[in-house]
Structure 1
Amino acid sequence: MRTALRPTPLLLAALAGALVVAGGVLVARGEAAEPIAFASPAALGEALFFDPRLSRDGTMACATCHDPQAGFADPRDDALDGAVSLGGDGVAHGRRNAPTLTYAQAVPAFHRDEEGYRGGLFHDGRAVDLADQAGRPMLDQAEMMMADEAAIVAAVRADPAYEAAFDAFFAPGVLDDPTRGFGAIGEAIAAFERTETFAPYSSKYDRWLAGEAELDDWEELGRVLFFSQQFTNCALCHLGDGGLSDPRETFTDHRYHNIGTPAHPGLEADDAGLAENPAVAGDPGQAGRYRTPTLRNVAVTGPYMHNGVFADLRTVILFYNTYNTRSQARRINPETGEPFGPPPHPETLALEELEHGPALDDQRIDALVAFLKTLTDERYEALLSD
């Protein structure tokens, strides 16, 4: 079953013909010419985010794969048990897992510094920023399947409510040119994605930092383990520049690492990761590397890894533990009953980061899971499993 879209009251009114253009602004039919429509570019972007008319068959919106009731991830399980998203035609599917859009606003633009590549959207950073990312699924022929930029702009400008808003917020006639119009559509959606809706910083961990909540014994043990350089070193890749007490920490270094994630048996095995980013020009030294995701809302936005190969968060930690355990029994994937698969690109494997610390017993693994659950925004805490 497809995820139900959740358009705003304004969008519902516009679709029902209750809004018209008068004097260059949107007004309710039969009322005086007063601005009552989109209050900002972000409000315009919100309407677009939920609008299925931006897909070829009118069945899919941004919110279909990034459901606000599911951590802005895809809760559907109709393509490879939810590992990837089903396309707008109900048949095609992507080859990578749809990541959460929560806290995506904190991802820096794709760039290279002295340590390597950093930032960018999608798992391989091929979208430079949020605005670039927002438009690409509309053109993807396994996703929203629109023919070209002109088709997307035509769908938007067919609605007078939208056209008036773009004229007001961007430039008069901006939708007359497909390239400029398409860019403005991406900017509007990005403006919505930069709002507090996507980044409320309201988790139990945030409340603990503010002295408004207490971590229980399991959560505290998991916190200590997570930040420990002796036991796990998770924070090496899952901590930004602000440090342990940063109230705006998103638990990622925004960099690219090859952690040896096994191939998903139902997906194309030859996924080169960062090496597929055109800006990297096919550098084989980047094969198998993917951008470190945020860990905020991680407990409610599975399945996990770039290919959705793991259904359970505990399995992810068990997988990391294979680099430090000598026990063959601890190298078994509990979801399949078989050993974890080999790394598809062993030549770039980040062994220096992965082979670190002692093997973890079940109690410490459970403690890490407990801590990761504390990173769940308050609005999603009801989704947490016991």
Structure 2
Amino acid sequence: MTLFTKCLILTSAALTPPFLSADAGALEPIEALGKNIFFDEKLSIPANKQACASCHDPAKGWILPNSTINATTVVAPGAKPHAVGNIKPPANAYASFSPPFRSGNFGPFTPPWEGGNFWDGRAEGCGATAGAKCPTAAPRGAVSATIRPSDLPSSKQAQYAEFLGPIADQALNPFPNDVEQNIREKNVCQRVKTAKYKDLYRQAYGGEIDCSPNPKENPAYRTSFKRLAVAIAAWQASTDVNSFSSKRDRALADDKDHKFPLEDFTDQENLGHDLFYGITSSLNPQGKNALCAACHNGVPQGQAADPRGEAPKQLYTDNRYHHIGVPFNRQIPGVGKGVKTGLRTHVTNVPPGNFRTPTLRNVAKGLNGGFVKAYTHNGWFKSLESLVHFYNTRDVLRRCETLGITNATEKEALQNNCWPAPEFPNPAVVVVGNLRLTDSEESAIVAYLKTFGDAHTPRP
């Protein structure tokens, strides 16, 4: 069974308003075009080898749907034989809420940058506004190409401007990457031109797709390629992707006062919420704070802050960059210690080890039948239980190095009740490391995280 076929399967969970998410028939032409491109395995060289969905499977929470790889080497195979990536593919649902990369003052242990896409934020989205300039960060490292309103037909610029930004810029990158889809911009254009869904381009943009190499300085195929990336971004911004249809969302909407504790939650799940936000309650009388919300708390731009986690559209990410002391993962092939530095790859005058905070939505989706997910940017953690235990005891347990274990894997660390030293020095000391949680409190947090999985699963 191919990934394309597997993704035809919808979750069996019943959805009722307001959680009835869009399907292909309800999508606008530009969204439907983006959705078809996302699932099209022909948009790779060799053909029929890789689609966007190959690394971002909706049924598995928008991550790599290969349990064996997640449990070992972590990085995704490319379309080209023997090609592999060098960092864990991040989940892409809810990524459309990340603002354009920008500076700010977020406290002493947080670099003064937020937004963008990719683990290092290099998909800045700085072309979202006509005449906008990319942030001035000197010296600057890797930065993605950007899409501007002028890349769209004049008749569509006002209508589609909302889809420009980090998620559209990110969509420019996997196709020509030789360890991902390995297909040039012109080839993508030509294949969409003959695809079964080719008429959607005309419906979306008001004309046929142009794959001409002229004018030489800005060939038509490049403009068409950028418009295809905008279509992907449009679908990724739709309710078909960002459905807000999890147990947490349904229970919050159904609750009489729309506040925690929720009537449809177990005591364990409600306790997990109180620990997540540090709320004193009958379940958490000491007001213990697991400090999860220090990084995993945020709402769409323009909405009021949500200190108690009761907003209908809680994103569970601040879209900022944090260093939590993740160990080096020796199992990733060809990637040496200290190579993947996170934000420093993009903004080179910041310390290494800061990576963009991923959303916690769908972190447990697809965890059935023994399926393994990999967590954090390098996939060192293989379960939510071990990740929460790390946050709780990072600075309490002995170092694996003192036991003679160099660059320990998660399995080795758990077997020896130790944690490896961080890959990069000076992780945040006030957020994680010694939370003084009991085993049952750790389990409560995991139970709460498991309520974040969307019931809706998009179909090709």
**Structure-2-length-normalised TM-score:** 0.69
1:122 counterpart = 2:118: yes
**Rounded Cα–Cα distance in structure 2 between residues aligned with 1:215 and 1:262:** 34
Q: Which residue of 2 aligns with 1:362?
A: 439
**Rounded Cα–Cα distance in structure 2 between residues aligned with 1:53 and 1:197:** 22
**Which of the residues 400, 403, 411 maps onto 1:335?**
411
Distance 1:377 1:80, change over 3 A: closer
**Which of the residues 284, 306, 311 maps onto 2:382?**
311
1:76 counterpart = 2:66: yes
Q: Which residue of 1 aligns with 2:298?
A: 240
Secondary structure at 2:113 match in 1? strand
1:377 counterpart = 2:373: no
The number of aligned residues is 344
1:152 counterpart = 2:188: yes
| 1:81-100 superposed Cα distances (whole Å, 9 cap, x missing partner) | 36221111342211211122
Q: Which residue of 2 aligns with 1:258?
A: 323
Q: Which residue of 1 aligns with 2:178?
A: 141
Secondary structure at 1:208 match in 2? helix
| 1:94-133 superposed Cα distances (whole Å, 9 cap, x missing partner) | 1211122221222222222233111111111111211111
Secondary structure at 2:235 match in 1? helix
Higher relative contact order (CA 8 A, sep 6+): 2
Following superposition, the deviation at residue 151 of structure 1 comes to 2.5
Following superposition, the deviation at residue 232 of structure 1 comes to 1.3
**RMSD across aligned C-alpha pairs, in angstroms?**
2.7
**Rounded Cα–Cα distance in structure 2 between residues aligned with 1:255 and 1:132:** 18
**Rounded Cα–Cα distance in structure 1 between residues aligned with 2:362 and 2:453:** 4
Secondary structure at 1:378 match in 2? coil
Q: Which residue of 2 aligns with 1:40?
A: 29
Structure with the bigger percentage of helix: 1
* Contact kept? 1:273, 1:287, Cα under 8 Å: yes
Amino acid at match of 2:455: E
* Contact kept? 2:393, 2:435, Cα under 8 Å: no
**Rounded Cα–Cα distance in structure 1 between residues aligned with 2:245 and 2:448:** 15
**Which of the residues 242, 264, 275 maps onto 1:225?**
275
Q: 293-302 or 58-67, which moves further after superposition?
A: 293-302
* Contact kept? 1:225, 1:231, Cα under 8 Å: yes
* Contact kept? 1:5, 1:61, Cα under 8 Å: no
| 1:51-108 superposed Cα distances (whole Å, 9 cap, x missing partner) | 1121111111111111122222111135463622111134221121112222122222
Distance 1:254 1:161, change over 3 A: closer
| 1:271-327 superposed Cα distances (whole Å, 9 cap, x missing partner) | 1111112xx2x22x2411101110111113621010111111100011112245367
**Which of the residues 43, 50, 67 maps onto 1:54?**
43
| 1:243-266 superposed Cα distances (whole Å, 9 cap, x missing partner) | 022110111111000111111112
Following superposition, the deviation at residue 350 of structure 1 comes to 1.6
**Structure-1-length-normalised TM-score:** 0.81
* Contact kept? 2:64, 2:76, Cα under 8 Å: yes
Q: Which residue of 2 aligns with 1:3?
A: 3
Q: Which residue of 1 aligns with 2:147?
A: none
Secondary structure at 2:103 match in 1? strand
**Rounded Cα–Cα distance in structure 2 between residues aligned with 1:160 and 1:361:** 56
Following superposition, the deviation at residue 3 of structure 1 comes to 2.7
Following superposition, the deviation at residue 39 of structure 1 comes to 5.0
**Which of the residues 252, 266, 270 maps onto 1:216?**
266
Following superposition, the deviation at residue 161 of structure 1 comes to 4.6
**Rounded Cα–Cα distance in structure 2 between residues aligned with 1:205 and 1:80:** 26
Distance 1:256 1:169, change over 3 A: same
Aligned pairs for 1:21-40 (under 5 A) are 40=29
Following superposition, the deviation at residue 6 of structure 1 comes to 6.4
Following superposition, the deviation at residue 210 of structure 1 comes to 1.6
Q: Which residue of 2 aligns with 1:19?
A: none
**Rounded Cα–Cα distance in structure 1 between residues aligned with 2:2 and 2:360:** 26
Amino acid at match of 1:263: F
Distance 1:228 1:370, change over 3 A: same
Secondary structure at 2:46 match in 1? coil
**Which of the residues 87, 92, 95 maps onto 1:104?**
95
4+ runs deviating over 6 angstroms: 331-334
Distance 1:165 1:250, change over 3 A: same
1:345 counterpart = 2:412: no
* Contact kept? 2:174, 2:181, Cα under 8 Å: yes
Q: Which residue of 2 aligns with 1:204?
A: 247
Give aligned-pair identity as a percent.
32
**Which of the residues 173, 187, 202 maps onto 2:230?**
187
Following superposition, the deviation at residue 378 of structure 1 comes to 2.2
1:67 counterpart = 2:57: yes
Give the unaligned 5+ runs of structure 1. 9-35, 381-386
